[in-house]
Amino acid sequence: MSEANQADNKKGSIHDDAAAQKLGFKKAFVPGSVVANFAMPTILQHFGHAWLECGWYDFNFVSPVYIDEEVRTVCDDASGVFTCRIETRAGRLCAHGTAGASGSLPPLQTEGQTDDASVFPRAVLGTRFELDIHIRRKDAEPLLTASHDKSVQWRDCVPPEHLMPIALHMIDFKKLPTDGVAHPGSWAQHAISVHSQIHCDCDYHIVETLAEKGISERTQYVSFQFHVFDQGDVEVAVGRHKCKFLRKLDGVEG
């Protein structure tokens, strides 16, 4: 994980040293898409090529991965459920989750209080965004390089995690004002379920909506769900990502 921060040019984001330090962290975060994709080689090794047709994973981000840290993937299926942890060499947990080779996306896991009247009151549930995309092979290469993913399956296919930053960046937060929190925010959870292979150099259409908002301890969060369709309007994947923001407290400026 010692590769260059893919998002260090996004000034004011959590991937910018100054913005991260303003929130009390020691430096910028490695992007969540890189952290999550670090587990993909192990998932594919366990489930095989079939995972690309019907696989899913659900990851929760617990603590940052900084640019100078190395991480490792620790997996276990002793209980019959494939679990995965991403941790630093010192043993600090950065992310954890589950994966499978069949089934649908796990349901939204509401945490804490959800109150539409007080949580981001100007962000309306169901707000919709749409985007047409064409992913070239070279578009996914930076993610694979940064996460040390050399899986042969990606010669013709797009890593599902590559869809996450696309889904994030298609959101117009001017239409979903996040009031009462300290910016920037950071990803807290990623989940995706694939129904067929997502191929390079093909056209797809993404429909994304605001699915959830709420309060959890010192944070407020929003969750988005997106659906990916091929040119025949067949759904090839459904995904979800949660963004958390520190709530403004007395003496804390956003």
CATH number of 17-247: 3.10.129.10
What is the mean pLDDT, run by run of 10 residues, along the chain of 254 residues? 44 74 79 92 91 93 88 88 92 94 72 70 94 93 90 89 95 91 88 94 96 89 95 96 82 38
- Using a 10 angstrom Cβ sphere, with 0-12 exposed, 13-18 middle and 19 or more buried, the burial of residue 142 is middle
Kind and range of the H or E run holding 34: helix 32-37
What whole-number distance in Å separates Cα of residue 188 and Cα of residue 205?
A: 25
Burial category of 254 from C-beta neighbours within 10 Å (exposed 0-12, middle 13-18, buried 19 and up): middle
For the record, the structure tokens of 35 come out as: 């952290």
The pLDDT value recorded for residue 252 is 39
Residue 251 confidence (pLDDT) = 39
pLDDT value at residue 9: 44
Domain ranges of the chain: 17-247
**Exposed / middle / buried, residue 95 (Cβ in 10 Å: 0-12, 13-18, 19+):** buried
Looking at residue 8, what is its pLDDT?
45
pLDDT of residue 220: 92
For residue 98, count CB atoms less than 10 angstroms from its CB and return exposed for 0-12, middle for 13-18, buried for 19 or more. middle
pLDDT of the residue at 250: 42
pLDDT at residue 4, as a whole number: 39
